């Protein structure tokens, strides 16, 4: 495990509960109101991704950096044949496994603690996606390339946009807590998607994010 993964793993193990509360709204009224303003992109990227995973029924999905499993579990509920969620943070993976077991989704929804580059699963997936992932990866090209290799239809990614007022604020706030964060211009994404070997790609602007679909 390289230094970056070790630092990210520690950060996300500590943040797992706070992160889950953004989605479950187990917060004060004020915090929920602030999230609905400042974290609107998190809800919008979810809607974008689930929509672009369609058709879901009987297809297979790889959720890279699955966090607490929100996306994986929803795809399983919607009839996916198989969903694999991977994440470097074991606390996140624990939350995912508990939730899958509680909803009886654990016959088609599987979770593994690993970094994508170390993931050894042999089967390919119809769709892979990495949401809220590239913010935390200093060298995205090998990750994008492996997502392309593991997908037969498409890969879906969200990249935080470079030129937003929130980028420097986030950078300072997260750096102070030991978490590096990275931002992307549209031209950098185009270059990365071409280098990763996608046949073609689309970049959609979603709030302060670039949501990208790479076709295999
Ligand atoms: C912001 S959360 C996003 C979780 C989920 N995708 C979502 O959008 O709800 C980022 C997750 O990426 C994971 N992560 C960070 N770097 C990773 C890497 N190199 N490989 C796999 N997971 C990683 C973290 O552990 C964390 O759980």
Q: Are strands 125-130 and 151-160 parallel, antiparallel or unpaired?
A: parallel
pLDDT digits (tens, 9 = 90+) for 177-201: 989 999 999 999 999 999 999 999 9
Mutate to test the pocket of ligand 1, among 88, 131, 170 (most ligand atoms within 8 A of CB): 88
For residue 16, the CA-to-ligand 1 centroid distance in Å is: 10
Domains of the chain: 3-215 (3.40.50.150)
Indicate whether 205 pLDDT > 70.
yes
Do 22 and 36 meet the contact criterion of CB atoms below 8 Å apart? Answer: no
* Separation of alpha carbons 154 and 53, rounded Å: 9
Average pLDDT over residues 101-129: 97
Averaged over 108-113, what is the pLDDT? Answer: 98
- pTM for the full predicted model: 0.95
17 within 8 A of 184, measured Cβ to Cβ? no
Distance, CA of 198 to CA of 53 (rounded, Å): 17
Lowest mean pLDDT among 3-7, 65-69, 154-158, 193-197: 3-7
3-state secondary structure of 36: helix
For the stretch 119-160, pLDDT in tens is 999 899 999 999 999 999 999 999 999 999 999 999 999 999
How far is it, in rounded angstroms, from Cα 206 to Cα 216?
Answer: 22
CA dist 177 and 172 (Å) reads 9
Q: What is the pLDDT of residue 156?
A: 98
For residues 21-41, average pLDDT:
78
Nearest CA to ligand 1 atom 1: 132
Which protein residues touch ligand 1 with a CB less than 6 Å away?
A: 5, 8, 12, 64-67, 70, 86-89, 92, 115-116, 131-133, 136-137
Q: What is the rounded distance in angstroms from the CA atom of residue 7 to the CA atom of residue 14?
A: 11
46/52 Cα distance (integer angstroms):
10
Instruction: With a cut of 70, say whether residue 35 has pLDDT above it.
Output: no
Q: How far is the centre of ligand 1, averaged over its atoms, from the C-alpha of 133 (Å)?
A: 5
Return the SS3 of 94.
Answer: helix
Residues contacting 191, CB < 8 A, separation 6+: none
């Amino acid at each position: 495990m390289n230094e970056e993964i070790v630092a990210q793993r520690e950060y996300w193990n500590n943040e797992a509960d706070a992160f889950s509360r953004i989605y479950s709204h187990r917060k004060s009224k004020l915090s929920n109101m602030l999230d609905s303003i400042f974290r609107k992109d998190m809800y919008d990227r979810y809607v974008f991704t689930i929509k672009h995973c369609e058709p879901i029924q009987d297809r297979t999905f790889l959720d890279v950096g699955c966090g607490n499993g929100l996306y994986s579990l929803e795809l399983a509920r919607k009839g996916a044949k198989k969903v694999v969620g991977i994440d470097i943070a074991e606390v996140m993976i624990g939350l995912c496994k508990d939730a899958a077991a509680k909803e009886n989704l654990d016959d088609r929804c599987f979770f593994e603690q690993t970094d994508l580059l170390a993931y050894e699963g042999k089967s390919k997936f119809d769709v892979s996606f990495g949401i809220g992932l590239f913010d935390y990866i200093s060298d995205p090209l090998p990750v994008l390339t492996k997502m392309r290799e593991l997908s037969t239809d498409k890969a879906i990614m969200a990249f935080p946009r470079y030129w937003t007022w929130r980028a420097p604020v986030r950078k300072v706030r997260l750096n102070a807590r030991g978490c590096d964060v990275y931002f992307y211009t549209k031209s950098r994404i185009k270059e990365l998607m071409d280098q990763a070997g996608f046949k073609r790609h689309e970049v959609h602007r979603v709030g302060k994010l670039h949501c990208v679909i790479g076709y295999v």
